[in-house]
Amino acid sequence: MKPYVYITRKLPDEVIKPLLQNFNVNMWDHDDVPVPRDILLSEAKKADALLTMLSDTIDEAILTAGKNLKVVANLAVGFDNIDVKAASREGIAVCNTPDVLTDTTADLTFGLLMATARRVVEAAEFVKEDKWKSWSPLLLAGHDIHHKTLGIVGMGKIGETVAKRATGFEMDILYHNRTRKPAAEQQLGAVYMSFEELVEKADYIVCLTPLTPETKNMFTREVFQKMKQSAIFINASRGPVVDEQALYEALVAGEIAGAGLDVFDKEPIDASHPLLKLSNVVALPHIGSASVETRTTMMGLCIDNIAAVLKGTEPKTLVNKDWMPLVRA
77 lies in the binding site for ligand GLV (CB under 6 A): yes
221 part of the active site:
no
Q: Which residues contact 278 (CB under 8 A, 6 or more apart)?
A: 248, 251, 252
156, HSE (Cβ side, Cα atoms, 13 Å): 18
274 lies in the binding site for ligand GLV (CB under 6 A): no
Catalytic residue among 9, 119, 286, 295: 286
Cβ pair 46, 26 in contact under 8 A:
no
Using CB under 6 A as the binding criterion, the count of chain residues that bind ligand GLV stands at 7
Within 82-121, the residues that bind ligand GLV by CB under 6 A are 101
Task: Identify which of residues 77 and 174 has a Cβ nearer to ligand GLV in the complex.
Answer: 77
Cβ pair 258, 281 in contact under 8 A:
yes
Per DSSP, what are the bridge partners of residue 95?
73, 318
Q: How far is the CB of 234 from ligand GLV (least distance, A)?
A: 14
Q: How far is the CB of 54 from ligand GLV (least distance, A)?
A: 6
Among 7, 50, 51, 54, binds ligand GLV (CB under 6 A): 54
Among 88, 235, 289, 294, binds ligand GLV (CB under 6 A): 289
96, HSE (Cβ side, Cα atoms, 13 Å): 17
Catalytic residue among 238, 244, 255, 295: 238
Site string for ligand GLV, 175-214 (x = CB under 6 A): ----------------------------------------
Angle at 175 between CA 169 and CA 179, to 5 degrees: 140
Rounded Cα distance between 321 and 265, Å, is: 29
Rounded Cα distance between 207 and 15, Å, is: 32
Q: How far is the CB of 204 from ligand GLV (least distance, A)?
A: 20
Single out the segment in contact with ligand GLV by CB under 6 A; choices: 65-73, 75-83, 147-155, 269-277. Answer: 75-83
Single out the segment in contact with ligand GLV by CB under 6 A; choices: 3-11, 72-80, 115-123, 149-157. Answer: 72-80
286 part of the active site:
yes
Among 142, 260, 288, 315, binds ligand GLV (CB under 6 A): 288
Closest CA to 60 of 36, 46, 41, 78: 41
240 lies in the binding site for ligand GLV (CB under 6 A): no
Single out the segment in contact with ligand GLV by CB under 6 A; choices: 73-81, 108-116, 156-164, 219-227. Answer: 73-81
Catalytic residue among 60, 125, 222, 267: 267
Single out the segment in contact with ligand GLV by CB under 6 A; choices: 76-84, 137-145, 188-196, 316-324. Answer: 76-84
Q: How far is the CB of 138 from ligand GLV (least distance, A)?
A: 13
Rounded Cα distance between 157 and 34, Å, is: 29
Cβ pair 209, 154 in contact under 8 A:
yes
Rounded Cα distance between 27 and 11, Å, is: 8
Burial letters 74-84, b for 16+ CB under 10 A, else e: bbbbbbbbbbb
Q: Which residues contact 305 (CB under 8 A, 6 or more apart)?
A: 71, 73, 93, 95, 315, 316, 317, 318
Task: Identify which of residues 108 and 257 has a Cβ nearer to ligand GLV in the complex.
Answer: 108
Among 7, 71, 76, 241, binds ligand GLV (CB under 6 A): 76
Q: Which residues bind ligand GLV (CB under 6 A)?
A: 54, 76-78, 101, 288-289
Return the active site residues.
238, 267, 286
